[in-house]
Amino acid sequence: MSNERIKTVVEDLVQVLQDFMHKHEISHDEYRVATDVIIDSIKAGEESLFFDVFFEAEATDISNKARKGSPEAIEGPFYCVGAPLLSLPYVMPQRINERGDVLYFRGRISDTDGKPLPAVELDLWHADADGLYSNIHPDIPDWNLRGRFQTDADGYYEVKTILPPPYEIPKNGPTGKVLSALGRHFFRPAHLHVKIRHPKYSEMTSQLYFEGGEYLDNDVANAVRDGLIARLVYRNSSADLVTRELSLPFYELCYDFKLTPL
Ligand code: MBD
Ligand code: FE
């Protein structure tokens, strides 16, 4: 960010907030309540959660306006750099007897002209069957349900994992208390987070949601967008069995990404 840009946006932000204080005749006490919410959220380790729930979706909408490829969605507070590099056949790192229905996440990645792209990296992370993330919540092995893998020579990818449930934001933390005061619920719809990288294309961060899932219309983080709800297919007949999966039932989520050139 250039100094000039910082000056432009910070001066405007300060002005907007000052006008807001006058509009609502904010008292000293109310001013302190507001700053304490931010300080408490930082002390509770929720600084990113607090801002991401209320504001990050606006930034992705703004960047999506100029994008030709697949839409982006918010990163959220739980991305970690350096997830394990998986080897074929791709299976997300998980505990023995990891709970949750088996999910195959697969699809194809191409450029905006439809040319399939090999060796695109997908960096996938999602919650476990309790709706908790590794490297964040205690008692889960580090890097559980976090992994990186690539598209094949024809641009296809496929990874085996488990189907995550909706995510519930901690109710009793500073962010939860603000949501309670607003009379809002604490849930995000079930989702997969993904970052997609290739040296010649713009890196993208997105999320995929499951068609028919709960909270798609009232995500607490307001981050669901039309192009990101994918069809979840339930496979439960022997005709559905293929060499890569030997037991029923399982789910499949198919999603094709289009990358925007640099
Ligand atoms: C999440 O998993 C998430 O994706 C967001 C945006 C906020 C809280 C938890
Ligand atoms: Fe999430």
Q: Given this model, what pLDDT does residue 248 score?
A: 85
Q: Got the DSSP string for 215-262?
A: TSSS-TT----GGGEE-EEEE-SGGG-BTTB-SS-EEEEE--EEEPB-
Cβ-Cβ contacts under 8 Å for 217 (sequence gap 6 or more): 224
Residue 90 DSSP one-character state = P
If you measure from the C-alpha of residue 135 to the centroid of ligand 1, how many angstroms do you get, rounded to a whole number? Answer: 14
User: What pLDDT, on a 0 to 100 scale, did the predictor assign at position 145?
Assistant: 98
Q: What is the pLDDT of residue 243?
A: 62
Distances (CA, A) of 161 to 156, 164, 185: 17, 9, 28
> pLDDT tens track of the chain, all 262 residues?
899 999 999 999 999 999 999 999 999 999 999 999 999 999 999 989 999 999 999 999 999 998 889 999 999 999 999 999 999 999 999 999 999 999 999 999 999 999 999 999 999 999 999 999 999 999 999 999 999 999 999 999 999 999 999 999 999 899 999 999 999 999 999 999 999 999 999 999 999 999 999 999 999 999 999 899 999 999 888 777 776 777 889 999 999 999 998 8
- The reply to whether ligand 1 has any atom less than 6 angstroms from the CB of 72 is no
76 CA to middle of ligand 2, Å?
6
Q: What is the pTM of this model?
A: 0.94
Nearest-atom index, ligand 1, CA of 133 = 2
- Whether 74 lines ligand 1, by a CB cut-off of 6 Å, is yes
Residue 227: predicted pLDDT = 93
The pLDDT assigned to 140 comes to: 97
Tell which residue, 236, 185, 230, has the closest CA to residue 211: 230
Rounded distance between C-alpha atoms, residue 35 and residue 54, angstroms = 16
Q: From the CB of 78, is ligand 1 less than 6 Å away?
A: yes
